[in-house]
Amino acid sequence: MQNACRRGKIGRAKGDILLEYSNLLFASVILPLSALALFFDRSAEYKNLILIVTSALFLLWGRPLLAGLVLLSWIVDFLLALGIEKLPRPKALLLGADILWNGALFMLYMKPWLTGHIIKEAFILPCIAFYTLKNFSYVFDVFSGRCRAERNPFCLMTYSVAYPFLLAGPVVRYGDIEPQIRKRSFDTSLFSDGLCSYAAGLGKTVIILPVLTGLTDITLRADELTRGGAWLGTAAFIASAYVGFSGAADMGAGIARINGFDVKDNYQPISCGSMAGSLVKSCNTTMIELFDDIRSFSGRKAVSLVMTIILGGAAGLFYGGGRIGVLLGALVGAWLAAEYFIGYEKIKAVPWVFRAVGALAVCLLIAAALAFKTPADCRAWFSALLGRGVSEGFGKGVGGYLMHNIFVIIAALVYISPLRTLAAAAAKKISEKNEKNYAAVQRLKTALLAAVMMISYLLLAAGKL
């Protein structure tokens, strides 16, 4: 399991990809200045220009040469979509050309991961993943008739390069966002929601995520691997993946709302309602919706099943890397395909105990695909889960770590469990009784988010000292 320890460090480096919205320079300088610039002019054209400029800076922060190619790629998508609309006969070939184009862009950035290297500008990888998928969704929507091809290249450029949608989604569809690109005004309620969303996401990634990542590391270390530690480390790993992604998605959606875009969240509460389907949809909700549209458009179940397995393997490669990631990712894809074939309504009729067991099995597959690099590491971890050749405790130092971070651990447990939904429902019920209660709930929410943001900025600043 020594490789597993090294793999944990790699996993943490990959986790840092999702933290670029919480970079101290971005959070304290770029975001406030770009938000302030929006007040200088009310026109949508001006707001689009500010968004294009700040998005270009955000992308060029990584690898300037390739980022320049990415920034220019909207022209290719613009021309291909026009061709699909005006030339119906070869439109399938034009769609295929767009798949190859965006796929080639993605592979240029993916190459370091394929060779097992961690690059300094690693945060740019999810940018390109969402960038290429979002641009393809526009061309596909024109192909399928969901929206018309855009005639104004600058409107499409605003959609294409907007940085709020690059790190963790949502994968906004052009037909949904186009009216807001052409006309949007300052909305105090939307701006306030955006600040709250950004503050919540910042707290998740700066306060909660490092604690969960640290817990994963100390429980899955080779020299302290125990049965209890293996289970606790697996739970911490799954929780850290969800918290990290939802935190980045919160920040992305918050920045979009600050810029005047009314977008939906890209994640849902964790659920075992349909086992793999619910778990996967809890992260990347809008991406799964896009895949569902593509699958439905094909009209053939066999094509849909094969596509789901391939996408699962691709996800395992990107998030996990190596052969084990591809294999186990494909297995999760096959599970999803089986659920789709059986039908989610039938699955939801299964007693919740069996669905919970199935969801646990999917979680273990996902953890195995993402947390370990070699089959040997994976086997050692699985043996520890079963208690073979290891002690029953949690491992050295785990108890002290839990006590030292007890409040953050409790916050994480509340967030990933049904307690979050119950607390939100209770707050809503109290606020609906009368205006006084509503004001009190809003003040409490504002105070908590302000405290979270202040603590987050202090931690970010302390990390730079």
Backbone CA torsion sign across 166, 453, 285, 155: negative
Nearest alpha-carbon partner for 103 in 76, 143, 142? 76
Q: Which of 221, 272, 219, 215 is nearest to 239 (CA)?
A: 215
pLDDT tens per residue across all 465 residues of the chain: 333 333 333 333 333 333 466 677 777 777 887 778 777 777 788 888 888 888 777 766 655 666 677 677 888 999 999 999 888 778 889 988 988 888 887 777 666 555 544 444 444 555 677 778 888 889 999 998 888 999 998 888 888 888 787 766 677 888 888 888 888 777 788 888 888 888 988 899 889 999 998 898 888 765 778 888 889 888 898 888 888 888 888 888 888 888 888 888 888 877 777 777 777 777 777 777 787 777 777 666 677 778 778 777 777 766 665 667 777 778 888 888 888 778 777 887 888 788 888 888 888 877 877 777 777 778 888 888 888 888 888 877 888 888 999 999 988 888 888 788 888 888 888 888 888 888 888 888 888 888 888 888 888 887 755
Which residue's structure tokens are 């190619």? 69
What residue ranges do the domains of the chain occupy?
A: 43-184
Query: Residue 441 and residue 126: Cα distance in Å, rounded?
Result: 36
Residue 42 DSSP SS3: coil
pLDDT value of residue 9: 37
Evaluate whether 220 touches 5 at the Cβ level (below 8 Å): yes
Instruction: Determine contact, residues 227/385, Cβ cutoff 8 Å.
Output: yes
Give the three-state DSSP class for 267. strand
What pLDDT, on the 0 to 100 scale, is given for residue 11? 37
Share of the chain above pLDDT 70, in %: 84
> DSSP code of 389?
S
Query: Residue 88: its pLDDT value, please?
Result: 76
**What angle in degrees, to the nearest 10, is found between the helix axes of 227-258 and 375-385?**
110
* Number of DSSP helices (H) and strands (E) in the chain, helices first: 23, 0
pLDDT score of 14: 35
Residue 24: its H or E element: helix 24-25
Please report the pLDDT score of residue 129 as a whole number.
Answer: 72
Output the pLDDT for position 80. 92
The confidence score (pLDDT) of residue 79 equals 92
| Angle between helix 124-144 and 64-86 (nearest 10) | 10
- 26 φ, ψ to 5°? -65, -45
